[in-house]
Amino acid sequence: MKEKLKTSQNEHNKDKLDYFDENEENKIINVRKKALNIKTKLEKISSVEVEGATQVVEKFEQKLRIEWPVLFGENPKFIFVYVDLDSFYASVEMLKNKSLHNVPLAVGGNAMICACNYKAREYKVKAGMPGYIAKNLCPTLLIIKPNMEKYNYYSEIIMGILSKYDKNLEMYGIDEACLSFDKDSFNTAYNILSKKTDLKKKIDFENSCVLFTFENICKIVEEIRNCIFDTTGLTISAGISVCRGLAKLSSKVNKPNGQFCLKNNFQTYLNDLDVDELNGIGKRTKELLFRTFNLKKVKELQENIHLLYLSLKMKTFNMLFRLSYGLSIFDGLRPVSYTSLSKKSINKEYSFKATNDYIEIMNNIYNISKYVSKKMQKNNYLSFLISVKIKFSDFNSFTIQRQCKVPIKTIEDIFDTVIDLLTNHFSDKSIKQKLYESICNVNTIRLIGIKVSSLIKEMNFNLIQKYTNDMVICSERLCPICNLGFFNESNFIFESHVNICLDKQQTEKRNINRTLLKFFKSRNTEPNEKYV
């Protein structure tokens, strides 16, 4: 009987494997068709158009030199540290269970693997891979169900430690984050660590006066990594460089439990990398670049970037252009005031065993809504745009979104909007079918994701609302902060401008609080000249 069940399971997994391979193959075939169409288009392009594209690309580079002069030899005002916990989910599982240290381990299920340890990676098992494929690669692989409560617990401890050293810590997920240091934040980090350890004796800084240099940042980062290990028992890898993209690339160099600093010769470092090593270029984009332009290396990508300008959408071209210089999608167009950067979105995805059980799906949606709402309320954010992502057991997926007229923030707001979106998507409107009836008729679902974007600080929104409600209807509107006039611009443009001004005003107030001006302003007096 057991043998029959095992045979039946193997056949079931084989069918799934065939379906997965077929799905992946279809995606590659579509990419190759697209590549063929682009090549046909390129054959008709004249030399005059090529010359024009070359000149346009030169202008893009000139703008980039202004936006990111540090990539072209200038001294950095900011140094970025990208940190990534080493096989986080698997490492947490191994913390309490020593017997798991020397076995191939994955966290997830038969449908999808969330993470795996380095022993499993020796068999080419990786995150995002279906569990039954991983089992084919490594028959001895042990797959454990994820415990998100446990992972969130350790993540909050670690992110709490990191946020002490950078109040504007950028979190990209449960196990990834980026710190940005300038002279002030470096001194803050040094002072924090000095109180915890006898840092001056322990670390040989390169100057008697502690200066803002790559070498000293590296020593600070090493101490932060040690602090995280001592507190949690988990290891963390770090990359240090002049932008987020290069810092993330650097974080992979000495994994696990290491760090790497890339402080100069950026283009030399990038030139020999395969294009898919850049953050943001996946398997299909790599295939498109190779099939269309015969590009494999970053150097070749830069040399032929004018052809991409002629043949790809502007958004795609601009992304690839910036990636080829080491920037990531998180490196904004203007790296001037990092303290005023606001988070653009908050999202959470959750994979689970494929199901169309209504109650289980509702529980997952509620838990994700709760997570997103908690993040929003922690930072006092409101959202005007919500997106829902669904993946099925047959590897197809879809994303739907809604622009909200009223800002959302609470669990109930998010949950109700998601349910309404799914009801409209799944239900047969002709018979007004309810969601629980229609969801049982679709393929089993294995992933749900919720994303909120178009974020604005609640305080800023309330100020904008108060101003616009009190404002007399007329042809001209004035910004309440800088008095700039707006005539025919849309409300969105006007409100966005006011929001930026409010952020700047708050930053200035924080800066004043760090100086003696706070003392005099609180008394409505100016400093006496003889003491200045």
Of 454, 478, 506, which residue sits at a domain end? 454
pLDDT of residue 513: 57
280 within a domain of the structure (yes/no): no
497 within a domain of the structure (yes/no): yes
| 356 shares its domain with 435 | yes
C-alpha atoms less than 13 angstroms from C-alpha of 100 in its C-beta half-sphere? 20
Q: Find the mean pLDDT for residues 260-275.
A: 93
Q: Find the mean pLDDT for residues 251-278.
A: 93
| 449 shares its domain with 468 | no
Q: Classify 39 as helix, strand or coil.
A: helix
pLDDT at residue 46 tops 70: yes
The DSSP letter of residue 227 is H
Structural domain tally of the chain?
2
For 68-137, where are the alpha helices, taking DSSP H only?
88-96, 118-121, 131-137
pLDDT at residue 70 tops 60: yes
**319 or 532: which carries more pLDDT confidence?**
319
pLDDT of residue 531: 34
Taking the CA atoms of 111, 114, 120 and 123 in sequence, report the sign of the dihedral they define.
positive
Of 454, 477, 496, which residue sits at a domain end? 454
532, with CB counted inside 10 A (0-12, 13-18, 19+), is: exposed
The DSSP letter of residue 434 is -
Q: Mind listing the pLDDT tens digit for each residue in 183-203?
A: 888 988 888 887 765 554 455
Locate 131 and state its tokens: 């569990």
Are the C-beta atoms of 82 and 53 separated by less than 8 Å? no
Residue type present at position 465: Q
What confidence tier does 378 reach under pLDDT thresholds 50, 70, 90?
A: confident
| 479 shares its domain with 392 | no
481 within a domain of the structure (yes/no): yes
Please give the Cα distance from 300 to 392 (Å, whole number).
37
Residue 216 CB neighbours (<10 A): 20
pLDDT of residue 431: 46
Q: Find the mean pLDDT for residues 240-269.
A: 94
Least confident of 102-106, 118-122, 186-190: 186-190
CATH of the domain at 389: 3.30.1490.100
| 358 shares its domain with 448 | yes
Locate 294 and state its tokens: 């015969």
| 500 shares its domain with 403 | no
| 361 shares its domain with 395 | yes
Q: Find the mean pLDDT for residues 77-102.
A: 91
108: left (phi over 0), alpha (psi -120 to 50) or beta: left
pLDDT of residue 323: 93
Q: Find the mean pLDDT for residues 46-50.
A: 88
Of 454, 473, 499, which residue sits at a domain end? 454
Partners of 350 in beta bridges: 448
Please give the Cα distance from 504 to 78 (Å, whole number).
19
Q: What percentage of the chain has pLDDT greater than the value 70? A: 76
| 353 shares its domain with 448 | yes
62 within a domain of the structure (yes/no): no
| 391 shares its domain with 446 | yes
pLDDT of residue 269: 93
Please give the Cα distance from 376 to 11 (Å, whole number).
45
312 within a domain of the structure (yes/no): no
430 within a domain of the structure (yes/no): yes
pLDDT of residue 172: 82
Q: Supply the mean pLDDT for the chain.
A: 80
pLDDT of residue 72: 92
222 within a domain of the structure (yes/no): no
Least confident of 80-84, 301-305, 446-450, 513-517: 513-517
Q: Find the mean pLDDT for residues 451-477.
A: 61
Phi and psi, residue 390, nearest 5°: -125, 130
Show the domain range for 376: 342-454
CA–CA–CA angle 434, 435, 438 (5° rounding): 90
Please give the Cα distance from 378 to 381 (Å, whole number).
8
pLDDT at residue 103 tops 70: yes
pLDDT of residue 439: 63
314, with CB counted inside 10 A (0-12, 13-18, 19+), is: exposed
| 431 shares its domain with 513 | no
Please give the Cα distance from 415 to 318 (Å, whole number).
35
269 within a domain of the structure (yes/no): no
| 433 shares its domain with 505 | no
Q: Find the mean pLDDT for residues 480-493.
A: 62
Task: Order the strands of the 113-116 sheet from edge to edge.
Answer: 113-116, 105-108, 142-144
Q: Find the mean pLDDT for residues 275-283.
A: 88
pLDDT of residue 253: 94
What confidence tier does 525 reach under pLDDT thresholds 50, 70, 90?
A: very low
| 449 shares its domain with 347 | yes
| 379 shares its domain with 404 | yes
pLDDT of residue 19: 54
Residue 50 CB neighbours (<10 A): 14
Residue 15 CB neighbours (<10 A): 11
